[in-house]
Structure 1
Amino acid sequence: MNQERLMKVILAPVISEKATLVGETRKQVVFEVLPDATKAEIKAAVELLFKEQKVEVSAVNVVNVKGKEKRHGRFIGKRKSIKKAYVSLKGDGDINFVEGVA
């Protein structure tokens, strides 16, 4: 796999109530990923981005979330569809997103 491609696969971490609950109970982290990303690419990208923290991925589950239709007055629009990845970590591994910030 190309390293440039792997650096672009993960778009952002998902910060929500459900993502926090899943992180505490099941040792999983939730990311928003590219719509055409595969599970193998997501696993390699997480291990590449967080190799300083020695993160090892045991499993990746993927969910496609359809964008909602929304109205603004008489106009109808649609939010974009996203793909979320639930990444399970091996052992008692943990990802610290704030590390390195002064």
Structure 2
Amino acid sequence: MNRERIYQVLVAPHISEKATVVAEKNSQYVFRVAPDATKPEIKKAVEALFEVKVDSVRTVNIKGKTKRTARGMGKRNDTRKAYVRLAAGQDIDFADAE
């Protein structure tokens, strides 16, 4: 997998209270991913970018909220998240990532 596709698949780490609890408890990390990214692509991208061993990948599609605006009803963009479980003893340090 080339570097361009890695950065297209993994959009950003998802930082939230729930993501922090899951990371500490189960060695799972949450990433926002591209809508067309597949589980094998996500696994390869995380392994290549962070040099870790991935056990499993779970994805979830989140529908954008409908919000009222001054010009009527609007809708936020749909997003996709991936929960990546690492092998035992593996860890991701976002400060060391390129």
For normalisation by structure 1, the TM-score amounts to 0.88
Q: Could you list the structure 1 runs, at least 4 aligned residues long, displaced by more than 3 angstroms after superposition.
A: none
Choose the corresponding residue for 1:88, options 85, 88, 91.
Answer: 85
Aligned equivalents of 2:44, 2:97: Cα separation in 1: 22
**1:50-101 deviations in whole A, cap 9, x for unaligned?**
12xxx11000000000000011245211000011000000012110011279
Q: How large is the RMSD of aligned CA atoms in angstroms?
A: 1.6
Structure 1 unpaired stretches of 5+? none
Alpha-carbon distance in 2 for matches of 1:46, 1:56: 8
Alpha-carbon distance between aligned partners in 2 of 1:7 and 1:56, rounded to the nearest angstrom = 18
The answer (yes or no) to whether the contact 1:58–1:90 under 8 Å persists in 2 is: yes
Percent of aligned pairs sharing the same letter: 54
Cα distance in 2, alignment partners of residues 31 and 76 from structure 1: 29
- In the superposition, the TM-score normalised over structure 2's length comes to 0.91
CA contact (8 A) 1:7 1:49 kept: no
Match of 2:73 in 1: 76
